[in-house]
Chains A and B, each alone.
Chain A
Amino acid sequence: MQSGGITLKQAWKELVYGKKKYILIELLLVLLMFMVLFLSGLAEGLGRAVSSGIEDMDADYYLLDDSAEDLITVSSLNEDVPEKVKKQTTALTAPLDIQRMYLVKEGEAEKLNVTYFAIEPDSFIEPAVMDGVGLADSDVPDPIILDDDFLLEGIALGDTVYDSSSDIPFTVTGFAKDQMYGHVSIGFISTDTYAKIRKRLSPMYTKMYHAVAIKGDDIENIGIEGTEVISKEDIISSIPSYTAEHLTITMIVWVLIVISAVIIGIFHYILTLQKRKQFGIMKALGMSMGRLVFLVISEVAMLSVSASVISLVLAFGMAGALPETMPFYLETSNAVAVVTAFVLISIFSSILSILNISRIDPITAIGGGEE
Chain B
Amino acid sequence: MSLLEIEKITKSYQDGTEKQQVLDEVSLKVDGGEVVAIVGPSGSGKSTLLSIAGMLLSPDRGIVRIGGTEESSLPKKEWAKERRERIGFVFQSHHLLPYLNSEEQLTLFQEKRKQKKVSALELLKELDVESCIRKYPANMSGGEKQRVAIARAFINDPDIILADEPTASLDAKRGRQAVEMIRNEAKKRGKAAVVVTHDERILDLIDKIYPLENGKLML
Using a CB–CB cutoff of 8 Å, the interface residues on chain A facing chain B are: 2-3, 6, 10, 13-14, 16-18, 278, 281-289, 361-363, 365-369
Contacts and interface: CB of A to CB of B under 8 A. Distances in A.
A13 B105 CA distance: 12
A368 B80 contact: no
B95 A16 contact: no
Interface string B88-112: 0101110101111000100111001
A361 B84 CA distance: 16
B51 interface: yes
Contacts of A285: 83-84, 89, 109, 152
A284 B164 contact: no
Interface residues of B, number: 31
6 contacts: A6-B108, A278-B97, A281-B95, A286-B82, A288-B84, A366-B50
Interface of B: 47, 50-51, 54, 56-57, 80-85, 87, 89, 91-93, 95, 97-100, 104, 107-109, 112, 136, 152, 156, 164
A324 B122 CA distance: 66
A367 B47 contact: yes
Contact of B99 (A13, A282, A361, A365): A13
Nearest to B136: A17
B56 A288 contact: no
Contact of B89 (A6, A13, A14, A365): A365
User: DSSP majority for the A interface?
Assistant: helix
A10 B108 contact: yes
A281 B93 CA distance: 11
A363 B109 contact: no
A44 B93 CA distance: 57
A288 B80 contact: yes
Contacts of A367: 47, 92, 164
Given A2-B112, A367-B164, A368-B92, A286 B85 contact: yes
A13 B108 CA distance: 12
A286 B91 contact: no
A283 B54 CA distance: 12
A286 B100 contact: no
